[in-house]
Structure formats: structure tokens, C-alpha cells
């Protein structure tokens, strides 16, 4: 398993979801299996089969999340260079074509949420902004063609 980087908020959210799966979903599925088993012949019991399948998928998800949490590393934004656009940077950019300004926070792939203004460093815009400084031009290849963004401000 590879190491994945998280903000403190992102890692807490992942741990909360894992706890929810363990403490709420796992007992709920066990209860569904018990109820289906009580209905008689297991060889022709579709409810039992569905509950067992759901249990298998849940256990797989829990296992994968446990592995991610075990290999997670916290990002320390106090040690990052504030003069460049990096993970955890808040970057204000201006579209060179239409003058429109946007502000995004660069985050890891698992924490991306466009509605909250958080874009992944692996997205086309995120990749284009990484390492840039104020005044630099980022050329982003988008489905509509190439777009140029000027870096207006970088903050933490």
C-alpha cells in the first residue's frame, strides 16, 4: 500500500467514516443476516444471500480503509513553502481570457470538493498550479482547449 497524505480534517473525516462502518453498519448487516437466517431454508433465501454479499463488501471496504488509515501521513502546512502553490495552498487565479477570478485550495485527491473550493493536486488545474508563484502563468489543458491562468495570490 502506498502512503497517502491528508490534512488533519481529511484524516479525521476518514477515521469517522471508518468508525461509522465498524460501529453502525457492521452490526446492522449482522442483524439482517440473523433475521434472514431465521426465515428458514438458506439454499433458497435471497435475503440471506443479499445480506451475506453486503457483509462481504462492507468488510472489504473496512479493510481497505483500515489500510489507508494505517499508512496515512499528516501534512504539516507550517513546513511548506508559502511562496509557491503547493498542497494546502489557497490560490487566487485570474483567467487571462475573460478576467474572471477564482480561489481554490489545493488538496489531496481524497479531500477534493469543488463545491467547497477544494481541488485535487492531481486534477488538470491542480497540476498546472503546483509549484507556481504569484505572477506566474499556468497553462491548463481543459476539454475546451488550453486556458491561461495568472497566479494572483497564494496564502495558507
| 50 lies in the same domain as 84 | no
- Count of structural domains, the chain: 2
pLDDT digits (tens, 9 = 90+) for 129-155: 988 999 999 999 878 889 999 999 998
The domain boundary, picked from 16, 44, 74, lies at 74
Helix 8-20 with 46-70: angle, nearest 10 deg: 150
Instruction: Pick the more confident residue, 60 or 8.
Output: 60
> Which pLDDT band holds residue 50 (cuts at 50, 70, 90)?
confident
The domain boundary, picked from 54, 74, 94, lies at 74
Show the CA angle centred on residue 42, arms to residues 36 and 45, nearest 5°: 60
> Which pLDDT band holds residue 56 (cuts at 50, 70, 90)?
very high
Q: What is the pLDDT of residue 79?
A: 66
The answer, as to whether pTM is greater than 0.85, is no
| 64 lies in the same domain as 19 | yes
| 98 lies in the same domain as 61 | no
Q: What is the pLDDT of residue 81?
A: 66
Alpha-carbon dihedral sign for residues 152, 92, 155, 77: negative
Q: Are 97 and 147 in contact (CB under 8 A)?
A: yes
> In the chain, pLDDT over 90 holds for what percent of residues?
43
| 48 lies in the same domain as 93 | no
| 133 lies in the same domain as 64 | no
Q: What is the pLDDT of residue 1?
A: 54
**Beta strand spans in 1-156 (E):** 4-6, 72-74, 90-95, 101-107, 118-120, 137-142, 145-155
What per-residue string of b and e applies to 19-56 under the rule 16 or more CB within 10 Å gives b? eebeeeeeeebeebbeebeeeeeeeebeebeebbeebe
| 142 lies in the same domain as 110 | yes
Assigned C-alpha cell, 17: 467514516
Locus of grid cell 488509515:
69
The domain boundary, picked from 74, 106, 136, lies at 74
* Domain around 138: 77-155
| 147 lies in the same domain as 102 | yes
| 104 lies in the same domain as 59 | no
| 55 lies in the same domain as 101 | no
Amino acid at each position: 500500500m502506498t502512503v497517502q497524505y491528508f490534512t488533519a480534517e481529511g484524516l479525521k473525516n476518514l477515521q469517522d467514516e471508518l468508525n461509522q462502518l465498524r460501529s453502525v453498519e457492521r452490526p446492522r448487516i449482522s442483524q439482517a443476516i440473523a433475521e434472514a437466517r431465521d426465515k428458514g431454508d438458506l439454499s433458497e433465501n435471497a435475503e440471506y444471500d443479499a445480506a451475506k454479499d453486503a457483509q462481504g463488501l462492507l468488510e472489504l471496504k473496512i479493510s481497505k480503509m483500515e489500510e489507508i488509515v494505517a499508512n496515512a501521513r499528516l501534512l504539516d502546512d507550517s513546513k511548506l513553502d508559502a511562496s509557491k502553490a503547493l498542497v494546502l495552498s489557497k490560490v487566487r487565479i485570474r483567467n487571462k481570457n475573460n478576467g474572471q477570478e477564482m480561489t481554490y485550495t489545493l488538496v489531496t485527491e481524497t479531500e477534493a470538493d469543488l463545491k467547497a473550493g477544494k481541488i485535487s493536486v492531481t486534477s488538470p488545474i491542480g497540476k498546472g498550479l503546483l509549484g507556481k508563484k504569484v505572477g506566474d502563468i499556468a497553462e491548463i489543458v481543459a476539454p475546451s482547449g488550453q486556458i491561461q491562468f495568472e497566479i494572483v495570490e497564494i496564502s495558507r
